[in-house]
Structure 1
Amino acid sequence: MPNEHVRLDAERLELLYSQLGEDSADDVLCRAMEEMAIRIKQSEKLYQAGSVRELRKTVHSLIAIADQIGLQTLARVSGDVVICIDREDWISLGATFSRLTRSSDQSLTAIWDLQDVTI
């Protein structure tokens, strides 16, 4: 099974914490993770149903959320999925969407692991 190496922008997280303070930044981070988990699950259902317009909208929304909390790989792969849909490249969409689900799992795990580390 393929494994994704996720990139986490630590500077983005440090900036978030320095701008908002620890409590507010923790709140933003938790809400972002929750929203991403919901949208990823929703995108899996949409992909299975073949609802590409709704899939595009849902995945596109992941880009901003992932970027906000420094999940560079997830933001980039989400953008790649949107490109595949825009080009109507269904074969590439299958492969890229699979990469998105792997990246999202590992990205969320990376954020959870950071909660044990002081930023």
Structure 2
Amino acid sequence: MSDIIKLKFVERVILDPDRLVELCVSLGDAGAEELISLTMEELSCGLGRVEEAYTAQNWSIMSAEARQLSNAADHIGMQTFVTVVADVVTCVEQQDFIALSATLERLRRIADKSLNAMWDMQDIPG
């Protein structure tokens, strides 16, 4: 009984390739790449603001920041990220702070995977 098992969470992230194609068609490849890069930077900063609001227990700010994250992620097709952010907002609105802690941890994992997946997609030629 002294063995400790550490669970490793494995979850796929879903990116909407159609959204990326739409961006490339409407903005051109260079414009789409610039928008995606700026949005990813905005998401990274926004995650920091969500974390700060969580630490300060400022639920209205946390909810507002999370909604902004959702809008930005949706704009570039980060579907899984959008879904998990919505779950965070739901936890805040329902004042379920135990679930919020777990869901925020899930958001951290999904954010990392989603941002890496977007970077990887940008490296694909053509």
TM-score with structure 1 setting the length: 0.94
What is the root-mean-square deviation in Å for CA atoms of aligned residues? 1.2
1:21 aligns with 2:33: no
Task: Give the equivalent residue in structure 1 for 2:84.
Answer: 77
Counterpart amino acid of 1:72?
A: Q
Counterpart amino acid of 1:17?
A: C
1:63 aligns with 2:91: no
Q: Which 4+ stretches in 1 moved above 3 angstroms?
A: none
**Structure 2 CA distance for partners of 1:45 and 1:63, relative to 1, 3 Å:** same
1:90 aligns with 2:83: no
Cα offsets for 1:66-97 (capped at 9, x unmatched): 11101000011101111111111111111111
Quote the Cα distance in structure 2 between the aligned partners of 1:102 and 1:54.
Answer: 22
Task: Give the equivalent residue in structure 1 for 2:111.
Answer: 104
SS in 2 for 1:21: helix
Deviates more, 1:74-83 or 1:44-53: 44-53
Quote the Cα distance in structure 2 between the aligned partners of 1:90 and 1:20.
Answer: 41
Quote the Cα distance in structure 1 between the aligned partners of 2:92 and 2:62.
Answer: 9
How many residues are aligned here? Answer: 119
What are the ranges of 5 or more consecutive residues in structure 1 without an aligned counterpart? none
1:35 aligns with 2:42: yes
Task: Give the equivalent residue in structure 1 for 2:16.
Answer: 9
Q: Percent identity?
A: 37
TM-score with structure 2 setting the length: 0.89
Higher relative contact order (CA 8 A, sep 6+): 1
Quote the Cα distance in structure 1 between the aligned partners of 2:68 and 2:39.
Answer: 11
What are the ranges of 5 or more consecutive residues in structure 2 without an aligned counterpart? 1-7
Deviates more, 1:65-74 or 1:90-99: 90-99
SS in 2 for 1:8: coil
